Amino acid sequence: MAAPRAPRLFLGLPAPAKLNLFLHVTGRRADGYHQLQSVFVPLSLADVLDFELTDDGRIERSGDLVGPLEGDLVLRAAQALRAASGTALGAAIHVDKHIPAGSGLGGGSSDAATTLIALSRLWGLDWPRQRLAALATSLGADVPFFLGAGPAWVEGIGERLTPLAVPPAHYLVVHPQVHVSTREIFSDPGLTRSTKPLRIEDFSAAAGAVGNPTGVRALFGANDLEPIVRRRVPEVEAVLKSLSRFGPARMTGSGSAVFVPLVSEQEASAARATLMQESPGWWSCIAEGLDEHPLGVW
């Protein structure tokens, strides 16, 4: 019997968004990078990517694009994997964006990770995730997370990941449609860079004690970047004030998206309806926290 043919086409692969349940800046390295602690949770909100094999080594990128093509993380990820593997194959990649750009939800990093996962299979490399992670780190601090299996305790500059159980929740996510520069926020002289590190055991114990979906609210800590963004970006301040009526509103990443965990999809829908009537110019969605990455064992 002939061996099965390798696939030439992958359609509709998800690249999920993420939330930071908290984000602490615990120090700064000699090379200027900041030491962080956070909990990342993947979301049902996702970009969607299509991949088609090309035999002539061409890498083509189509669909929604944020910023210049030469800086696109999907293109950079594909080129990095091709160079590292030495393959003569290429791919046509189409990106359908659903995650707002510049929101702190990790869309670009997630697109890059899905690209590494998909092309590893499409090109017949079948690299394990640990090997892909070396390339992922060179593309961006958040990219390794999106190669993982699900929620994670994150340390270092984002490269040290420990799987973590997080209670389920529905999140109302709101983006005021303004861009926040991560570089400018981390360079702000008012940024706290000496938050006392937490212990993963304490967080895990709190998570294990949660007996219902609302318990995720007890797991929230501060986002050390949030006071800087609130001072510099009034639109984020406005969203935080508005969302705080419904629960413990937090900014994710370096902004500008803000989220609040809610008991159910129905409660989230009611809060969203109220919010959108008051501020129709804001982008919003209801997303479920995932206990595993949709491509975690793919």
* Terminal Cα-to-Cα distance of the chain (whole angstroms): 26
Phi/psi-derived region of residue 12, left when phi > 0, alpha when psi is between -120 and 50, beta in every other case? left
Say how many CA atoms lie within 13 Å of 1 toward its Cβ: 3
**Phi, psi dihedrals of residue 100, rounded to the nearest 5°:** -60, 140
**Residue 33 contacts residue 232 (beta carbons within 8 Å):** no
Provide the Cα torsion 17, 18, 19, 25; round to 10°: -130
Burial class (CB in 10 A: 0-12, 13-18, 19+), 97: middle
Which of 47, 50, 142, 224 is an active site residue?
Answer: 142
Active site residue 142: yes
CA dist 4 → 1, 7, 9, 150, 247 (Å): 9, 9, 14, 31, 52
Q: Given 18, 47, 72, 111, which residue is catalytic?
A: 18
Contact between residue 180 and residue 230 where contact means Cβ atoms under 8 Å apart = no
Q: What angle do CA 59, 61, 65 make, to 5 degrees?
A: 150
Question: For the chain, percent helix, then strand, then coil, each to nearest 5?
Answer: 35, 30, 40
Known catalytic residues are 18, 142
